[in-house]
Structures are given as C-alpha cells and as structure tokens.
Amino acid sequence: MPNSFQSAAEKPNSFALLLGYLNFSAGAIDASAWRAINDIYAQFEPCAAHGEIVEQATTVEKVAGALREALNHLHQTDPAFRNVDQAKGVVRIVFEQVLPAYREFHRDLLEHQAVGAIERPFFLMAIFQAVLATGGPWEGEDDNVVKKVLYKINDYMGWRPVAVLENGQLSEPYRHERVRPLPIYIRGVGAAHGHFSRLVDQAVQILEEAPKELLGQADFDLDLLSELAIDPRAFDFLHPAASRPNYLFGLWDPACIDDEGYYRRLVIQQATLEGILSWSAESHPGVPVEQLQQESAAVLAGVMLMASGLSGRGPGAMQSGMSLTDLLPRIAAYRDNFYRWLITRLPDEHRLRLEAEAQSLQQPFGGVRRHINMLLADRRARQVGSVTLASVLARLGRIDAAERLVGLVPAASARMLARITSRIVIAQGMCRRGDKNSLQKAVEILSEAKNLLMRGIHCGALVDPWNILGFAGQFPLHEPGGEALPDSRVDDLIGSVGNLLECACLTWQRSCLESNENIAKKASGLVEELASWWDQYATTSVGGIPHLSGIEMVQSAREVVTVLEERRTTAPLPLPPTFWRDAVADFSSARTHAAAADALLQEKDFDAAMGLLVHWITLLEGDEIDHSGNSWLVAAHRWLRSALTDLSASGC
C-alpha cells in the first residue's frame, strides 16, 4: 500500500479526509471527499505515458484494504478518530455488502461489465454518500441498509416511454430497469480518475472557453452540469430506442431535475465514449498524440452539445415542444458551427491539417468522427450477425455455442433471448422422449425458462408487456411530435411466451397420457400460471401483432388431454367411425386440432391422426380457411412425412 499516513500536525492526507467524511458526515455532498477518493485511486493507478491511466480490476480491493488500515492507524494516533464506529461500519457495509449486492441486483443487465469496471472512484463515492444518508445502524441490520441504498442509488432509466393504460394510470417501470450511472465528472471536483480523465477534462475546458452564443444554440449551460456520467448498460443496437436521434451519444437524465426545472445530469453511452477515446490509440504516423487527444475531446464536447440540443436544458425548454423534423437540422447546424469555431483556435500546424481534412471529408473533424461512426457501425454489424446465428443455434439446442456467440455481444437482450430459447428447445427434446425422468426434467427446464423470461422483462432486456397495449405495439421516439416506429421486441416477447406455453402444454399432455399425475400437476400449474400472467396484458385486443391468448392455450391443452385419454381407453380395439366427429365436436380452436394431431403422430398412430385431419378439413370453410388453413397444411405435411419415413411393421 502506498505510504499515505501523516502525523496529525501535518496537512490531512486523502485517507484522513475521506475517513473523516465517512465518520462524521450524514451524507451531504462534500467536494473535498470526492477529490480525496480520486487521489486514493490515483495512488494505485498512476498515470502512464501521455497521461494514460490503466484501470485495474483489483484496485477496489486495494482501496478497501488501504481504508481499513488507514482507519486503524488514525484511531490509534489521532484524537479526532477516538470513536470510529460509523466509518468502520460504512466501510464494511459498502465493500462487503453493497457492492456485491449491486452486482447481484443487476446480474442480468450488467453481466457484461468486467470486475472493477463499475467500482470506480466516483461510483464508490456515490455509494458512500447513499449509505451515510440512510443513517445506519452500522451493525445488525445490514440487509435493511443495503435495500435502502440500492433503492436510493438506482435512479436512472434513460429514454423509457411509460404507457398510460385505459384506466388513466401509468404503468410502473420495474426496479431492475433502474441503474446508477457511473459518474466521470462532478462539478467542483473535476473528472474521475480513470482512462477517461484526460478526455473529460479537455472536453470540459473546451466548453468553458466556447462562446456563449454557440452554447446557447444547444441550450447548454456548463454551470448546470452537476454530473457527467456513463450509462453502464450495454448499448443495444437492435433496441428501437437506438433509432432515436442522438440516443447513441447521450441525453440529459429526464429524472434528474433541480428546483428551478433544469436538468443536472448528462449521461453518455459507454460505447460512444470508448470509440472517442480509441481515436488517440490508433496509429497515425506523423501526427502527435496530443493533437489526437485534442480532437477526441472536441468530439466529446460536440456530443454533449448534441445530446443537450434534443431536449434543451429542462422539460420547459423550447426543444421539448418541437418535432424531430424541426430539431435535427438545428442540431446539425450548430454542431458544425461549433467544430468550425474550435478549429480556428488550434495552433497553426494542427489547424491547417484539420482544415485540409475537413475539405477532403466534407465535414470538420471528419477523421475522428468517421472513425467513431465506423467503429459503432462495426459493433452493430457484429451484434446483428452474432444474435442471428445465436438464435439459430439456440433453436437447435446448442446452448454452449449460442452462449459463446451472445458473449460477443454485451446487450442483455441477446443473452436473455438465447438462454430462454435454448431451454425451451431442450425441454421439447426431453418431452418427446416421454419417460418419467425426461418429463420431470422438462418441467424443471421450463421453469428456468419462465424465470429467465420474467428476469428479462424486469431488467428491461425484453419489452414491458404493458407497453404492447399502451403503445399498440409501437415505440415512441419523441413525445411532442408523436414519432414512433414498430417495436420489434414485441414479436420476440410474444414468440418466447408462445413457445414456452406450447412446450409446457405438450409436457402436460404427455404426463397425463403416461399417468404421471405429479408431473402433470406441475406442468398444468406452470401453464395456468403463465397463461394467467400473460392474459392480464390484453395483447389480443391490439391489432397488427401476433395473436396469443393464454386461456385459449389452456383450454386447448385440456381438450387434447381429454380426447387422447378417451381414445386410449379404447385401445387396442380400432376406433369407431364416428369417434373423431363426436370427440372433437367441442374443440375450440385450430390449435387444439394441431396439438391432438401432433400427439398422435408422436405415438405413430397414423390412422387416428389421419382421421383427425380428415375431420378437421371438413370444418374449414369460408374465413376458417384463411384463419386455420395454414395450421392444417403444416399438420398434414408432418403426417405425410412421418408416414413415408415410418419403418415399423405397422407402417410398411
């Protein structure tokens, strides 16, 4: 550990300042404490060449150990630290309870974040502040303190439209959707220690020197920027919000508003910030790295202005009432004006190079901007390719291969959908085996898939079902102008729920036919629970999206079980000619016919399946042909394929 202890007569060092805050504060903001934790991190992560800082996964553990050691030292040597119960309790709760609990709370949403990537100095300070604000107790009630702290610090969702239901009530976002952005700049303190430090400091300096009239075009006031933070969630290029202008760059936190109605926290996308930072790490022969760093800072400043221009400085700003059609040309114009102004302030050598570059690429700072756009486009292409192939592998039941592919994509939606699909496919295979152990395993795997489905919805990886009804399957891009686009996540969710219900129904049917009452009870309970949960969202009342009714699937499964049990009671005698006419007279849907035919084909009873198909086709007239004709064709094709490939004695 760095030598950081000094006598009480000397100027208090960073450890003494921070521990004094932890021991005596009630959670008020103290800039000196924020600077102190920055200095402590700097002792373990010193600057390398060109001011670069390499963040280390073990730094947070080293900081925790150093704080404990420093507290013991101060307790023994400094009369002001005679009683250190509060500081000792806070340090213990934060490092041993809150940080692991935060990771566990967001295990789905932030799974892509490496160890130490979140636990940076200002994030740690925000947690310290939240723990102090709870007021303890510092022993014996850790679970209660942790619960309060998580509720307090998880305060950000970004652009997350909330549906207004028919009763006039707003649907409520889920707790796991909210995260704590990672602060990288605090007003009055400066940039957080880390690999973004120099970039952020330079960008803020540029904005400090920028003409007020240029900043005014973006409705940006640096004095109102209390915090600049990173969204720790992975940017999902397939999420409909990715089509929102400038969303890829950042936005004012719509929930962080001061008493005067101004936004105070600007949140930048991590993928964008990493792309900006990578410009100076690229090989540019003959170009000083200091110039590249300055260009990166210029683009970050421009990104902040673009993010501000979409919403203005508060909900009452002029921009909040403008449509995207009117806003986008304004944003593009002042962005380029800002870049042109900045070029004029650079040293001659740098200015002349950028002017030539702007003329060649038809835009100021075109090199770094093109680099960032290409990097982000490459990330999007990799996500599309990996997610598509992972979906295919998941449907084939290749869990390990699908997991490896979605591991290349940080987006939570890719992981959750692949894991849900893989489990459903495996359960289908178990169900087709039909023995007791396989059916029991199928129920367990389907329960896992259901839990993953709920977790995916609750963390925001999957669409909120209330939004299907509330927005009619659309995703609002900008409230004032009413701009919206179809929400592709709706089909993903309906497909996953439908496949899960179908497989659970199949397990229920097979268990009943095999007289496994215990397994059948579990499977039927799973079907009914999932169907009841789904039907509360009334998605069948929304036009233009796939029809999925839970009660219809439950009723269909019951009808299939009833008729197949009745058929089994006649075995081994042949079925009477009128059996299917009488047995299926009350079938409520094409799904019931298809499920019954599938069950018969699984048992290789081709005669019974043919009888069912013949009776079914006699019912298809008029609109029923359009509604159920395709289902009949699929079932008939499967019968023909199965009959032609059957090599059993009865099939020859």
| Residue 266 confidence (pLDDT) | 95
pLDDT single digits (tens) 340-365 = 999 999 999 999 999 999 999 989 99
Indicate the residue among 153, 187, 205 that finishes a domain: 153
Residue 304 lies in a domain: yes
Is residue 238 within 8 Å of 385, Cβ to Cβ?
A: no
Provide mean pLDDT across the span 201-218: 93
Phi, psi of 238 (to 5 degrees): -95, -5
Among the listed residues 579, 522, 528, the one whose alpha carbon sits nearest the alpha carbon of residue 555: 528
**Do 231 and 308 have their domain in common?**
yes
Tokens 């001061």 appear where? 258
Whether residue 651 is predicted with pLDDT greater than 60 in this model: the reply is no
**Do 146 and 214 have their domain in common?**
no
Is residue 98 within 8 Å of 133, Cβ to Cβ?
A: no
Phi, psi of 156 (to 5 degrees): -135, 135
In 78-134, where do the E strands start and end? none
Instruction: In whole angstroms, give the CA distance from residue 512 to residue 533.
Output: 24
SS3 of the chain: helix, strand, coil, percent, to 5: 65, 5, 30
| 625 three-state secondary structure | helix
| Residue 624 confidence (pLDDT) | 61
pLDDT over 90 for what percent of the chain? Answer: 51
Provide mean pLDDT across the span 277-291: 88
pLDDT single digits (tens) 220-247 = 999 999 999 999 999 999 999 988 877 8
Q: Which two tokens stand for residue 214?
A: 């240029």
The least confident of 309-323, 372-386, 569-583 is 569-583
Whether residue 557 is predicted with pLDDT greater than 90 in this model: the reply is no
**Do 119 and 207 have their domain in common?**
no
Instruction: In whole angstroms, give the CA distance from residue 310 to residue 289.
Output: 32
Tokens 């400090």 appear where? 208
What's the pLDDT band for 114 if we cut at 50, 70, 90?
A: very high
Whether residue 386 is predicted with pLDDT greater than 60 in this model: the reply is yes
Phi, psi of 261 (to 5 degrees): 85, 25
**Do 215 and 105 have their domain in common?**
no
Indicate the residue among 351, 372, 393 that finishes a domain: 372
Residue 184 lies in a domain: yes
**Do 149 and 225 have their domain in common?**
no
Using CA atoms, how far residue 581 sits from 39, 54, 587, 612, in Å, is 82, 75, 10, 8
DSSP 576: P
- Kindly give the interhelix angle for 606-618 and 590-602, rounded to the nearest 10 degrees: 160
pLDDT single digits (tens) 415-460 = 999 999 999 999 988 988 878 899 999 999 999 999 999 999 999 9
**Do 253 and 304 have their domain in common?**
yes
Structure-model confidence comparison of residues 480 and 114, the more confident one:
114
Is residue 375 within 8 Å of 400, Cβ to Cβ?
A: no
Instruction: In whole angstroms, give the CA distance from residue 158 to residue 608.
Output: 56
What's the pLDDT band for 178 if we cut at 50, 70, 90?
A: very high
Residue 504 lies in a domain: no
In 247-363, where do the E strands start and end? 250-252, 265-269
Whether residue 71 is predicted with pLDDT greater than 50 in this model: the reply is yes
**Do 204 and 338 have their domain in common?**
yes
**Do 182 and 140 have their domain in common?**
no
Whether residue 267 is predicted with pLDDT greater than 90 in this model: the reply is yes
Q: Which two tokens stand for residue 249?
A: 């760059």
Using CA atoms, how far residue 509 sits from 37, 440, 504, in Å, is 61, 13, 9
pLDDT single digits (tens) 474-530 = 998 876 456 788 999 999 999 999 999 999 998 998 888 777 889 989 999 999 999
Query: 115: domain range?
Result: 14-153
**Do 316 and 179 have their domain in common?**
yes
Residue 619 lies in a domain: yes
The least confident of 206-210, 397-401, 569-573, 607-611 is 569-573
**Do 179 and 148 have their domain in common?**
no
Number of domains comprising the chain = 3
Is residue 589 within 8 Å of 556, Cβ to Cβ?
A: yes
For CA atoms 167, 169, 170, 171, give the dihedral sign: negative
| Residue 4 confidence (pLDDT) | 43
Structure-model confidence comparison of residues 574 and 214, the more confident one:
214
**Do 557 and 645 have their domain in common?**
yes
User: Helices marked H in 396-487 — which ranges?
Assistant: 399-406, 412-433, 436-458, 465-470
Identify the helix (H) or strand (E) that includes residue 165. none
**Do 368 and 234 have their domain in common?**
yes
Indicate the residue among 372, 400, 428 that finishes a domain: 372
Q: Which two tokens stand for residue 489?
A: 């996540």
Residue 278 lies in a domain: yes
pLDDT single digits (tens) 119-160 = 999 999 999 999 999 987 888 889 999 999 999 999 999 888
| 170 three-state secondary structure | strand
What is the residue-averaged pLDDT of the chain? Answer: 87
Structure-model confidence comparison of residues 536 and 406, the more confident one:
536
Residue 428 lies in a domain: no
Instruction: In whole angstroms, give the CA distance from residue 331 to residue 309.
Output: 6
| Residue 533 confidence (pLDDT) | 96
What's the pLDDT band for 652 if we cut at 50, 70, 90?
A: very low
The least confident of 285-289, 354-358, 412-416, 589-593 is 589-593
Residue 496 lies in a domain: no
What's the pLDDT band for 580 if we cut at 50, 70, 90?
A: low
Whether residue 265 is predicted with pLDDT greater than 80 in this model: the reply is yes
Q: Is 585 exposed, middle or buried, given 0-12, 13-18 or 19+ CB atoms closer than 10 A? A: exposed
Residue 493 lies in a domain: no
The least confident of 49-58, 393-402, 626-635 is 626-635
Instruction: In whole angstroms, give the CA distance from residue 608 to residue 579.
Output: 10
